[in-house]
Chain A
Amino acid sequence: MSQLQARFFTDNKKYVIDDVPFSIPAVSEITDLSNVINKLLEGKNGDHKHVEFDFLVQGQFLRSSLATHLETENISTEEVVEIEYVEKYTAPQPEECIMHDDWISSVEADSEWILTGSYDKTARIWSLEGKAVATVAGHTDVVKGVAWVKRDGLSSLLLTASLDQTVLLWEWSSERNKLRARHCCRGHAGSVDTISVDPTRSKFCSGSWDKMLKIWSAEMSEESNRPRKKQKTEQLGPTRTPLMTLSGHTEAVSSVLWMDTEELCSASWDHTIRLWDAETGSQKNMLTGSKVFNCISYSPLCHRLATGSTDRHVRLWDPRSKDGSLVLLSLTSHTGWVTAVRWSPSHEQQLISGSLDNLVKLWDTRSCKAPLYDLAAHEDKVLCADWTDCGLILSGGADNKLYTYRYSACLSDAGA
């Protein structure tokens, strides 16, 4: 089998070639195929510049020679092989390395600012360029979770959750760089490990080691002029109590997120993912795994959940499936606990995962055998990761460094 028939096609209008089968050597690899396409494109229009392509055979990325891939995937070589080609995903470009004083436990970034929580009991606000803007100090113990609530104009609301069992709601005015704790949310009986703000930005949910999920209001209450109370809680603002408590997990809640305005999803050490109705507080569905879940992420683009477990796998779930727990895919390449997963906000097939083996991996669900890229910058455990809408990948870990990467799916999109 030295030659085989292949037909190339693409969705990208810019790189369309004639729809005719070609006879190509079976041993050709990606670079060979890429050269073939480039040659064809050059023949079509003269001012074509060389573009690296990636190839998919029946929805799976080609990572070896064509012959071996077809053999392992059990695809017949008798017929014409349909090969899709896409512009090659470029590697994420490292941008900044932001030094912290202590381990970074959590990170969340938006289009302008990066918010990190650290083991030095503070959270910090950074600009995207890596300039320290503000320090959020108020917790008496390690900050385990951070989240932006909303940003209107120059004032922002942000949340920090800590091992000291409280969640603090802060108001930050970026113009004057003034930070004020507005509310102290008390109610958990264990360290608060995770927080998540709902899509309407009016509520947030926190998950704790005490096995509970609590939903709190994120609205700012009017300043009440009660000097006695105010004096007492001058530092941290008035105490706020939860709107609702969701109990059901039998062990620590490790991660929580809002799937939409009515639905909550939580992952726990008790091997379950539970879906909750945020209105009634009842449990809607439960997906049972076999290992401890450390982190969870939901993509509204492909409607899938990604979880990271202590058994080194990233698993993809379909939360809508009714017939029990359904693992769609296992992404296996890490060698340590997976501590962070995050779907791409713009691409429905890409996600990143961070692990205790010091690596952050960029995955494409179409190539589940190996990640697209390994981001091996950390020198110690990766504890958190984030992916912003504007294509910034962030990861922080036990080496006190927060790395940022600029990632654009394709070179040609880079300028856009």
Chain B
Amino acid sequence: RRPNHDSTDECPKRKPKKKQNVSADGENQEEKVTSGSDSGLRVSSQVDEYEQDTSDEEDIRNTVGNIPMEWYKDYPHIGYDLDGKKIFKPIRNKDELDEFLDKMENPDYWRTIHDKMTGTDVCLSDEQVDLVHRLQQGKFGDVNFNEYEPAIDFFSNEVMIHPVTNRPADKRSFIPSLIEKEKVGKLVHAIKMGWIKPRRPKETAPQYYDLWAKEDPNAILGRHKMHIPAPKMRLPGHEESYNPPPEYLLTDEERQVWEQQDPDERKLSFLPQKYLSLRAVPAFSRFIQERFERCLDLYLCPRQRKMRVNVNPEDLIPKLPRPRDLQPFPTLQSLVYHGHSSLIRSISISPSGQWLVSGSDDCTVRFWEVCTTRCLKTMEVGGPVKSVAWNPAPSISLVAVSYGENVILVNPGLGDRLICSATDQLISSYEEPEEVKDQQVQWAVPEGKAQEQGQRLILTHPKAVKQVSWHGRGDYLACVMPDDGSSLQVVIHQVSRRRTQNPFHRNKGAVQCVSFHPSRPYFLVATQRYVRVYNLIKQELTKKLMANCKWISSMAVHPGGDNVICGSYDCRLAWFDLDLSTKPYKVLRHHKKALRGVAYHKHYPLFASGSDDGTVIVCHGMVYNVTACFCFSSLALSHISFYSVREWCVSIFSPQLFGLIDVYIANHIYSNLGCIVTITLPTLSSSQVRKASSSFALTLHCPKL
């Protein structure tokens, strides 16, 4: 049924699949189109579909193509047919009213559509409407098409006994692949060369770890393991009874007091009330609130285990180092230097350590050989000796001795002969300057016997000289003339030029003692309460150390230069660190009576203090470390000095045992953070020493804990 093409034919579709028969009637035509299309879609149709339908015959009634048809709006025709003749628009005389009437009356109006290509109205057949509906619903246009036909797996997982194709196997499937061989060769080479590592066998053993191994029992989570029972509710008492005994009932006054009290302060949180019977008891009005508070208690109450600490107070005492570990320090009296017949006021040890000089009230100065206690030389001077000082310079052999208003410089003639003669030469080589300045101090050269004895220079001061102190280089000598009212209390002598200076023009209080700093150009002046540190180069006050005590008696500078200790008459020893502060680093109150002398050891961390109570306490002092002290007791003592070379300490014990100088090799007091352990060695005479080693008294003072 090949559709005959008719130029006059009016087709409702723009692209119908053109199998309609020519028909005058639109509806019949539609039916035929539909049936024609049906047969065209039928796959299984035996009819050759291409017989009746060719695409080049598509909608050729109007040849204008796919253009907007409004272009022909103003023309009487609507296009051209195959023969080039105009297709004229059908005469449309319907107005709006006709349209409306048509809509109202024509039952097929809903299926009438306007064909733009031909300008005609086409009424759709039932099949066509049905088709439109199907397409609108997204279904296949063909009614008979089953879209859910059962699927047949052509290639399935089942192994077929027959090949799918009958094609014989390729030749290449029998020949080893060269490319693969090359690839394998490369891999084998790489394995041989070690570029590819064989795969490590997987560890088959399952890996477990203890999740709680690192659990800190003190951690927050760890605390949950520690079960602390919730605080128990108090059991109800008689006052909570519905019928409490009358003594539990509150009187009016008590009730008023209860009501005025803050709810937290009330002893009872409720008012005991009396009811005749249990039935008369009303419902507990605060039930919910009380439950809530109970829950809050359980949730919020701080739960912690209260540890009762049982500490032995003695355990809190810091551990003191054993005295054995702090050795060396003096422990025993070794030597006694007999000879002086009166109080010994001062001692000094030569820089080489071989000699000791002592000055006494019996107007003599004695020179001793340290190791044998032999008095090698005795020199008489014109008055009680107040102070002796051996020149610290090893190349100068001079001793300064002060008595009364005089200071004499003595060459003891001990030690190296060359040094002695060089010292003599140094002093005698002085030439009188041209212009003689008027000095407050008279320099004189002794004559005769005094010269023979070794006296080299006599310096006569206006006032009594209490202390002499050498500078480390040995050329300068400071003398102290304590006098509260004068500005002339300290003078500094330069021995080589025989010059005297008064470094201070103003009186800053009674000077007790002075000392040169061992390494820096400082000069330390101790007045009654302060130690002033002057810079000699800049001529200014560098520091003022507050000794924190009432009357300084003595002062010693550590050979390193950073520490200063001051002894005072009010039983204190103040230890300053010059780098730290002007306040004492530590104040030690070990002595029971006034301190008379303090001394530092040159090498070991030891310092000693001697006191009127007859003891010398040797302290082992390290900054940042404990202070352990040791004391040896004897009779009252006036001056102390550390033996420079060894761990020995030389002290003088005055009134009863006057005339003796003891070298001590001993000790015992410990102090640390307020606790003092005192081990006192009983007073010994030299013959008792051997028995004393077993008879120590031990006192332990602990701070209140």
Which A residues have a C-beta under 8 Å from some C-beta of B?
Answer: 103, 105, 119, 142, 164-165, 189-191, 209-210, 251-252, 269, 290, 292, 294, 310-312, 335-337, 356-357, 381, 383, 398
Q: Who on chain A is nearest to B419 by CB?
A: A189
Q: Is the CB of A190 within 8 A of B689?
A: no
- A-side contacts of B645, CB under 8 Å: 251, 269
Q: Can you name 17 A-B pairs with beta carbons within 8 Å? A: A103-B374, A119-B374, A165-B417, A189-B416, A191-B354, A251-B353, A252-B353, A252-B354, A290-B328, A292-B646, A310-B334, A336-B334, A356-B334, A357-B690, A381-B373, A383-B372, A398-B373
- A-side contacts of B428, CB under 8 Å: none
Q: Is the CB of A337 within 8 A of B334?
A: yes
- A-side contacts of B354, CB under 8 Å: 190-191, 209, 252
Interface size on B, residues (CB 8 A): 21
Q: Who on chain B is nearest to A103 by CB?
A: B374
Tell me whether A311 and B665 are in contact in the complex, defined as CB-CB below 8 angstroms, given that A269-B646, A335-B690 are known contacts.
Answer: yes
Which B residues, 417 to 469, have Cβ-Cβ distances below 8 Å to chain A?
Answer: 417-418
Distance to closest chain B CB from A378 (angstroms): 14
Which among A190, A269, A335 has the greatest number of chain B C-beta atoms within 10 A?
A335
- B-side contacts of A337, CB under 8 Å: 334-335
Distance to closest chain B CB from A270 (angstroms): 9
- B-side contacts of A189, CB under 8 Å: 416, 418
- B-side contacts of A164, CB under 8 Å: 417
Which B residues have a C-beta under 8 Å from some C-beta of A?
Answer: 328, 332, 334-335, 352-354, 371-374, 376, 415-418, 645-646, 665, 689-690
Q: Is the CB of A142 within 8 A of B665?
A: no
Closest 9 CB pairs of A and B: A335-B690, A189-B416, A335-B689, A209-B354, A165-B417, A337-B334, A190-B416, A119-B374, A292-B646
Tell me whether A398 and B372 are in contact in the complex, defined as CB-CB below 8 angstroms, given that A191-B354, A335-B690, A356-B335 are known contacts.
Answer: yes
- B-side contacts of A191, CB under 8 Å: 354, 415
- A-side contacts of B374, CB under 8 Å: 103, 119, 142, 398
Q: Who on chain A is nearest to B418 by CB?
A: A189
New A-B contacts (11) at CB < 8 Å, excluding given A209-B354, A251-B353? A105-B372, A119-B374, A165-B416, A269-B645, A311-B665, A335-B689, A336-B334, A356-B334, A356-B335, A398-B373, A398-B374
Which among B354, B374, B376, B645 has the greatest number of chain A C-beta atoms within 10 A?
B374
Distance to closest chain A CB from B143 (angstroms): 118
Bound together, the chains give a CA A252 to CA B644 distance in angstroms of 14
Tell me whether A310 and B665 are in contact in the complex, defined as CB-CB below 8 angstroms, given that A190-B415, A336-B334 are known contacts.
Answer: yes
Q: Is the CB of B416 within 8 A of A210?
A: yes
Q: Who on chain B is nearest to A335 by CB?
A: B690
Q: Who on chain B is nearest to A165 by CB?
A: B417
Distance to closest chain B CB from A403 (angstroms): 18
- A-side contacts of B689, CB under 8 Å: 335
Give the number of residue pairs across the A-B interface with Cβ within 8 Å. Answer: 47
Bound together, the chains give a CA A191 to CA B334 distance in angstroms of 23
Bound together, the chains give a CA A283 to CA B665 distance in angstroms of 31
Q: Is the CB of B372 within 8 A of A381?
A: yes
Bound together, the chains give a CA A103 to CA B369 distance in angstroms of 13
Bound together, the chains give a CA A190 to CA B369 distance in angstroms of 13
Distance to closest chain B CB from A105 (angstroms): 8
Give the interface SS of chain B, mostly helix, strand, loop or mixed: loop
Bound together, the chains give a CA A105 to CA B371 distance in angstroms of 12
Distance to closest chain B CB from A331 (angstroms): 15
- B-side contacts of A209, CB under 8 Å: 352, 354
Distance to closest chain B CB from A214 (angstroms): 15
Bound together, the chains give a CA A119 to CA B689 distance in angstroms of 28
Tell me whether A142 and B376 are in contact in the complex, defined as CB-CB below 8 angstroms, given that A252-B354, A335-B690, A356-B335 are known contacts.
Answer: yes
Distance to closest chain B CB from A313 (angstroms): 12
- A-side contacts of B376, CB under 8 Å: 142
- A-side contacts of B415, CB under 8 Å: 190-191
- A-side contacts of B416, CB under 8 Å: 165, 189-190, 210
- A-side contacts of B418, CB under 8 Å: 189
Bound together, the chains give a CA A165 to CA B665 distance in angstroms of 29
Bound together, the chains give a CA A105 to CA B328 distance in angstroms of 29
- B-side contacts of A190, CB under 8 Å: 352, 354, 415-416
Distance to closest chain A CB from B372 (angstroms): 7
Q: Who on chain A is nearest to B645 by CB?
A: A251
Bound together, the chains give a CA A164 to CA B334 distance in angstroms of 27
Distance to closest chain B CB from A330 (angstroms): 15
Bound together, the chains give a CA A381 to CA B418 distance in angstroms of 32
- A-side contacts of B334, CB under 8 Å: 310, 336-337, 356
- B-side contacts of A310, CB under 8 Å: 334, 665
Q: Who on chain A is nearest to B415 by CB?
A: A190
Bound together, the chains give a CA A165 to CA B415 distance in angstroms of 9
Distance to closest chain A CB from B589 (angstroms): 32
Bound together, the chains give a CA A336 to CA B376 distance in angstroms of 22
- B-side contacts of A269, CB under 8 Å: 645-646
Bound together, the chains give a CA A357 to CA B354 distance in angstroms of 21
- A-side contacts of B417, CB under 8 Å: 164-165
Distance to closest chain B CB from A192 (angstroms): 12
Q: Who on chain B is nearest to A333 by CB?
A: B690
Q: Who on chain B is nearest to A337 by CB?
A: B334
Q: Who on chain B is nearest to A209 by CB?
A: B354
Bound together, the chains give a CA A189 to CA B374 distance in angstroms of 21
Distance to closest chain A CB from B481 (angstroms): 37
Bound together, the chains give a CA A165 to CA B374 distance in angstroms of 18
Distance to closest chain B CB from A229 (angstroms): 21
Distance to closest chain B CB from A110 (angstroms): 26
- B-side contacts of A142, CB under 8 Å: 374, 376
Bound together, the chains give a CA A119 to CA B373 distance in angstroms of 12
Distance to closest chain B CB from A372 (angstroms): 19
Distance to closest chain A CB from B209 (angstroms): 51
Q: Who on chain A is nearest to B413 by CB?
A: A141
Bound together, the chains give a CA A251 to CA B328 distance in angstroms of 17
Bound together, the chains give a CA A164 to CA B414 distance in angstroms of 9
Bound together, the chains give a CA A292 to CA B417 distance in angstroms of 26
Bound together, the chains give a CA A191 to CA B371 distance in angstroms of 13
Q: Who on chain A is nearest to B334 by CB?
A: A337
- A-side contacts of B646, CB under 8 Å: 269, 292
Bound together, the chains give a CA A397 to CA B471 distance in angstroms of 39
- B-side contacts of A251, CB under 8 Å: 353, 645
- A-side contacts of B665, CB under 8 Å: 310-311
Bound together, the chains give a CA A119 to CA B371 distance in angstroms of 14
Distance to closest chain A CB from B134 (angstroms): 116
Distance to closest chain B CB from A253 (angstroms): 12
- B-side contacts of A356, CB under 8 Å: 334-335
Bound together, the chains give a CA A187 to CA B665 distance in angstroms of 34
Distance to closest chain A CB from B138 (angstroms): 108
- A-side contacts of B373, CB under 8 Å: 381, 398
Distance to closest chain B CB from A338 (angstroms): 11
Which among B373, B376, B417 has the greatest number of chain A C-beta atoms within 10 A?
B417
- A-side contacts of B371, CB under 8 Å: 294
Distance to closest chain B CB from A407 (angstroms): 25
- B-side contacts of A311, CB under 8 Å: 665
Bound together, the chains give a CA A310 to CA B353 distance in angstroms of 15
Bound together, the chains give a CA A356 to CA B687 distance in angstroms of 11
Distance to closest chain A CB from B642 (angstroms): 15
Bound together, the chains give a CA A210 to CA B419 distance in angstroms of 13
Which among B328, B371, B415, B418 has the greatest number of chain A C-beta atoms within 10 A?
B371
- B-side contacts of A103, CB under 8 Å: 372, 374
- B-side contacts of A292, CB under 8 Å: 646
